[in-house]
Amino acid sequence: MAHKTLYFDNFCGYMVAAVLQEKKVVEFGFEKLGSGCAVGNVYKGKVESVLPGMNAAFINCGLDKNCYLSGDDYLPDGDLGGALPKADLKSLSPGDPVLVQVVKLPTGNKGAKVTTRLSFVGKIMIYLPDVPFIGVSRKITDAELKKNLVFAAKKLVSGNEGLVVRSAAPYAKRNQLEAEYTYLKNLYKGVSAAFAAAPVGALLYTDFALPIRVLRDTLSSDIDEIVVGSEYLAKMTEEVINLYPSRTMRPVVIHDTGRDMMSELGVSKQFLSMTSPRVDLENGAYLIIERTEALTVIDVNTGKFTGGENLEQTVYAANMVAAREIARQVRLRNIGGIVVVDFIDMTLPAHRKSVVEELESALKDDRAKCAVSPMSRLGLVEFSRKRIGASLLGAHSKPCRYCGGTGHTPTAEFIIIGLRARLLDIFAARKGDIRIDMNNEVLAKLLAWREMREDIRSHACGKIFAVPHRTYHEEHTVIKEEPFNIPYDAVEI
């Protein structure tokens, strides 16, 4: 069994968690304490507006932006049938109070997505107070075991309640199932009781801190060690571990060398590499991961990998390694939605099928639900991954102010052509001297572009001074009209 270690650290109001398998990061979490909106939070909201044409509504939850409620996620009173059809939001009116739970974090200009179908997550089960549904984790594959778990879950619930049995359930005793069910049910009752008197925007429930959530979701027999960065985390971790059966007990080691734990143990270096579009594989091949508005595209390249026997075998070996790494990367980067993988072309149908099966197998360890489609004739494989929280890039980066997130900036020639048009407009409207602050590379190109300088001077109604500076984008090429200072490094065009 693979060696797996959990790492927890806290500093300056932030919590960090990492799961390493064979010294490679397979999960990473990073959050600020008290940062506000989080997946799982339950708020008392107020309907701001209803859009019948979109079967959606905007809900004021006291956050920076109004939340989005879809008809798919709305459960009106009295509509608790087992089929759970798509609801019509026409029954809602502006000003109505509504109990909602965040299912997707805000991104860009969009607010958080919310639902009225609440769920409360425990170690063994997920409690659904208003959805009459019994489910079993897809990681439990034994048919007889699934049947027994469904039977046990049905014995617990009543009325319109539902349960999703998690992968830890087979290791729990009946009294543990009953105890967690009672705890989650009472949790919901407390939230419901507080709803009536709470003001709009009140946070009625929030999930546990990051380390406790990771322990709840991953603590099992395959964890070998837990390393923490402080006495506080050690105490918290041990308290959580003591709640579970003795077979899940693991040693808790405090990292007290005085150096940053994640940096010293090599976790930070791996984390920083996750923000790069290029992922180098151990065999010399590499991936390019590019995110677009609609989907994420992953390109597989052989790189320095030359293989051995023949081209087909080389390509097949590279694709097999890539399939495993792709599953790891989408999990690490928390990539959600549609993912399209451009594998290297293979000739043999058996190889194509085998690569898809390898990708499916590697994705089974992912807590987010994934669905993989067969490989197309062009060698493309599409798969979907359920969105859980914000993506790594979305949470810890912002678009470049120069390229606007495209990854490209205009050439010096393109900037100068645009600059010429702006100058001609100025010359046509007034007379006088002009000062232009521009990037060094653009200035050097303009000084070397004789025809362009002559064209600009032929239209000028005064002197033109160019001042070099470090900005690059066209928007940061600043034109100043009189009066202005002429610095020592100004160049007259």
Read off the amino acid at residue 255. H
Average pLDDT taken over every residue of the chain: 84
**pLDDT in the model for residue 243:** 67
Q: Give the mean model confidence (pLDDT) for residues 59-74.
A: 86
pLDDT, greater one: 151 or 240: 151
Residues whose CB is less than 8 angstroms from the CB of residue 112 and which lie 6 or more positions away in sequence, other chains included: 37, 61, 63, 65, 67, 68, 102, 104, 105, 106
Q: Which of the listed ranges 39-43, 267-271, 304-308 does the model predict with the highest average pLDDT?
A: 39-43
pLDDT, greater one: 399 or 471: 399
Matching CATH topology for 42-205 and 275-396? no
126 pLDDT tier (thresholds 50, 70, 90): very high
**pLDDT in the model for residue 401:** 72
188 pLDDT tier (thresholds 50, 70, 90): very high
Per residue in 239-296, pLDDT (tens digit) is: 877 766 655 567 888 988 888 888 888 888 887 788 788 999 988 889 999 988 789 9
Specify the CATH number of the domain 4-33+209-269: 3.30.420.40
**pLDDT in the model for residue 306:** 75
| Residue 466 near residue 491 (C-beta atoms within 8 A) | yes
Distances (CA, A) of 4 to 21, 380, 404, 437: 4, 32, 40, 56
**pLDDT in the model for residue 246:** 58
**pLDDT in the model for residue 344:** 92
Per residue in 346-377, pLDDT (tens digit) is: 999 999 999 999 999 999 888 888 999 999 98
Peptide linkage before 94 cis (omega within 30 of 0)? no
Question: Residue 80 pLDDT > 50, yes or no?
Answer: no
Cα–Cα distance measured from residue 44 to residue 194, given in angstroms and rounded to the nearest whole number: 9
85 pLDDT tier (thresholds 50, 70, 90): very low
471 pLDDT tier (thresholds 50, 70, 90): low
CATH class of the domain defined by 42-205: mainly beta
pLDDT, greater one: 397 or 212: 212
The CATH architecture assigned to 275-396 reads 3-Layer(aba) Sandwich (3.40)
Q: Which of the listed ranges 95-99, 213-217, 393-397 does the model predict with the highest average pLDDT?
A: 95-99
Token pair, residue 122, equals: 């425990």
Q: Give the mean model confidence (pLDDT) for residues 312-327.
A: 92
Q: Where are the domains of the chain?
A: 4-33+209-269, 42-205, 275-396, 412-492
Question: Residue 395 pLDDT > 70, yes or no?
Answer: no
Cα–Cα distance measured from residue 334 to residue 328, given in angstroms and rounded to the nearest whole number: 10
**pLDDT in the model for residue 79:** 37
**pLDDT in the model for residue 78:** 37
Residues whose CB is less than 8 angstroms from the CB of residue 409 and which lie 6 or more positions away in sequence, other chains included: 402, 403, 472, 473
Confidence (pTM):
0.72
State CA 380 to chain mean position distance.
Answer: 23
Q: What percent of the chain stands above pLDDT 70?
A: 89
In the 3-class helix/strand/coil scheme, how is the chain assigned residue by residue?
A: CCCEEEEEEEECCEEEEEEEECCEEEEEEEEECCCCCCCCCEEEEEEEEEEHHHCEEEEECCCCCCEEEEHHHCCCCCCCCCCCCCCCHHHCCCCCEEEEEEEECCECCECCEEECCCCEECCCEEEECCCCCEEECCCCCCHHHHHHHHHHHHHHCCCCCEEEECCCHHHCCHHHHHHHHHHHHHHHHHHHHHHHHCCCCCEEECCCCHHHHHHHHHCCCCCCEEEECCHHHHHHHHHHHCCCCHHHCCCEEECCCCCCHHHHCCHHHHHHHCCCCEEECCCCCEEEEEECCCCEEEEEECCCCCCCCCHHHHHHHHHHHHHHHHHHHHHHCCCCEEEEEECCCCCCHHHHHHHHHHHHHHHCCCCCCEEECCCCCCCEEEEEECCCCCCHHHHHCCCCCCCCCCCCCCCHHHHHHHHHHHHHHHHHHCCCCEEEEEEHHHHHHHHHCHHHHHHHHHHCCCCEEEEEECCCCHHHCEEEECCCCCCCCCEEC
**pLDDT in the model for residue 221:** 56
76 pLDDT tier (thresholds 50, 70, 90): low
Q: Give the mean model confidence (pLDDT) for residues 376-399.
A: 79
| Residue 251 near residue 225 (C-beta atoms within 8 A) | yes
Cα–Cα distance measured from residue 263 to residue 268, given in angstroms and rounded to the nearest whole number: 5
Per residue in 195-214, pLDDT (tens digit) is: 989 999 999 998 878 888 88
**pLDDT in the model for residue 120:** 92
Residues whose CB is less than 8 angstroms from the CB of residue 231 and which lie 6 or more positions away in sequence, other chains included: 254
Q: Which segment of 167-176, 275-284, 336-345 scores lowest on mean pLDDT?
A: 167-176
